[in-house]
Amino acid sequence: MDFSCTVARAELILGGQKSGKSGRAEAMARAWLAASAERGAVLIATGQAHDDEMAERIARHRRERALNVPGMTTVEEPLWLASCVDRLASPSTLLVIDCLTLWLANWLMPAAPCARTDPAAAFAAQADALIAALGRSTGPTVLVSNEIGLGVIPLGREVRAYVDALGTLNRRLAQVCERVTLMTAGLPLCLKGQA
C-alpha cells in the first residue's frame, strides 16, 4: 500500500478494522524518513498482550513494521500518551500513535489503574491532556483510531459507553487536527484539510 501524501502537523486517520489505517500511517512515516536523513519516526504503540492471540498480533505487527518502515522506532505506551508526546515531540520527528481505540480500552477495562475510581472521568482527563500535548507539540503527529459507531447500537451498557466515548474522542481530535482521513477498503478519503 502506497499513498502519495504530505505529512500534516496533526492528522487523524479513522476507519474500520483492516481498512488500511496503519498502512497509511506507515506510508507517511516512510515518506517522512525518505525526505531527509536528519528525520526520525517513532511509533507509540498502545496495544497490550492480554492473551495469546493478541501477543501474536503484536509480534506480527512488529515484524511487518520492521520490514515496511525499517527506520521507525517503537515505544510501547498503553496509558500515558500525553506525557509520551511531550517527551518525544520534535520538529524532526514524526510521531505515529497506533491506536487510540486500544488506548481507550486500556483506560476503561477493569484492570486499568483508575478502576477503583471513575474510569470514564479518568479517561476524559487523559483525553484532555492528549489534546493539550498535541497543541504543544513541535513536530508532526499521526493518530490512528477506529470508526466503530457506524453499525447497530450494541447491546450492553458498557459497550454502548465505550462506543460513545470513542466517538467523542474521535470528534474532539478531529476538531484539533489539521487533517482527518477516513480509510475505507484501503482507500483514503480526506475529510478535512489537504491530502
Q: Is the peptide bond before 99 cis (omega within 30 degrees of 0)?
A: yes
Whole-number Å distance between alpha carbons of 94 and 109:
29
State the catalytic residue, choosing from 61, 114, 120, 148: 61
Active site residue 61: yes
Which residue, 187, 10, 195, is CA-closest to 96? 10
Distance CA 47, CA 105 (A): 9
- Residues across the chain: 195
> Hey, is 132 helix, strand or coil?
helix
Q: Give the Cα separation of 133 and 82 in Å (integer).
A: 5
DSSP for 36-65 reads: -TT-EEEEEE----SSHHHHHHHHHHHHHH
Q: CA 53, CA 145: separation in Å to the nearest integer?
A: 20
What residues are labeled active site?
Answer: 61
